Amino acid sequence: MATIIRDHIEADIIGGLLKGGSHLTEIALAQRFNVSRGPIREALRTLEGQGLVNQQKNCGWFVRLLSQEDIQEVFLVRKILDDGLADMLVAQAPEQLQIVADNLSALAAAMDQAISPHDCGTFAKLNQRFHNVLLEASNNSRLMKLYRNMMGEVASHVAMSLTCSGAMVVSNHEHYQMIDALLARDGAVLRILFQQHREHTLARMLEHSI
């Protein structure tokens, strides 16, 4: 049950239903999911480990909200991981990359459908799945854990950053470019595309951060 609760709260954070800084009370969550507070605490502790929430002494649980300086630090680390990820991806067998590219293309097409109604929440959730597919294709469990925990810290900033004019169009165009570079097994181009994607995302987050 705790896993189901965690998944729901995580989706609400990534989709922007729960904003950064939102107070998460165990009682309200227990009522929402019709469970005791035990599974709620377990779910919140797991989310804390993923970087999505934090517990403040004598205050309770909150959706993590980072300062501009903190966000910039996260993206400096992301650069290092992105470069390693690009190298790992292009080292995969062509037939495996084709499967990955097909999965990514389906997600990018779904993101296209979220652009016209300006559904930032749905786009943000699909965007996370897109990047998770890239991470899983690396076949490196340690990279996946480091990357996901690091990006979990900025999860509450994603949906808000997508409200910028043209943000979803630009972001998904970059996704399609990544797929092309992946199929071409061009690590140098993939690194550049990761960099551009990272810089554009960071700029949008800083625009909407504290």
pLDDT in tens, 92-145: 999 999 999 999 999 999 999 999 999 999 999 999 999 999 999 999 999 999
Q: Tens digits of per-residue pLDDT, 169-206? A: 999 999 999 999 999 999 999 999 999 999 999 999 99
The arithmetic mean of pLDDT across residues 163-171, rounded, is 92
Residue 135's Cβ-count burial label (10 Å; 0-12, 13-18, 19+) is buried
The arithmetic mean of pLDDT across residues 33-37, rounded, is 94
CA distances from 177 to 100, 103, 104, 184, 186 (A): 14, 14, 11, 11, 11
What distance in Å separates the CA atoms of residue 147 and residue 189, rounded to the nearest whole number? Answer: 21
Q: Of 99, 100, 90, 119, which Cα lies nearest the Cα of 190?
A: 90
The pLDDT of residue 142: 95
Parallel, antiparallel or unpaired: strands 53-56 and 23-24:
unpaired
Sign of CA dihedral 135, 68, 206, 25: positive
Angle at 127 between CA 122 and CA 132, to 5 degrees: 130
Q: What 3-state class would DSSP assign to 141?
A: helix
Instruction: Please name the helix (run of DSSP H) or strand (run of DSSP E) that holds residue 153, with its range, or none.
Output: none
Which contacts of 139-144 are long-range, i.e. CB under 8 A and separated by 24 or more positions?
Answer: 139/88, 139/92, 140/88, 143/81, 143/84, 143/85, 143/88
The pLDDT of residue 195: 98
The pLDDT of residue 140: 96
- pLDDT surpasses 80 at 209: no
Which pair of tokens denotes residue 97? 């990359």
CA distances from 51 to 32, 64, 75, 140, 182 (A): 23, 7, 14, 20, 29
Band of the pLDDT at 210, cuts 50, 70, 90? Answer: low
Cβ atoms 155, 52 nearer than 8 A:
yes
User: Average pLDDT over the chain, rounded to whole?
Assistant: 94
- pLDDT surpasses 90 at 164: no
Cβ neighbours, 10 Å, residue 169 = 12
Cβ atoms 89, 134 nearer than 8 A:
yes
Q: What 3-state class would DSSP assign to 17?
A: coil
Q: 57 versus 84: which is more confidently predicted?
A: 84
The pLDDT of residue 57: 87
Q: What 3-state class would DSSP assign to 37?
A: helix
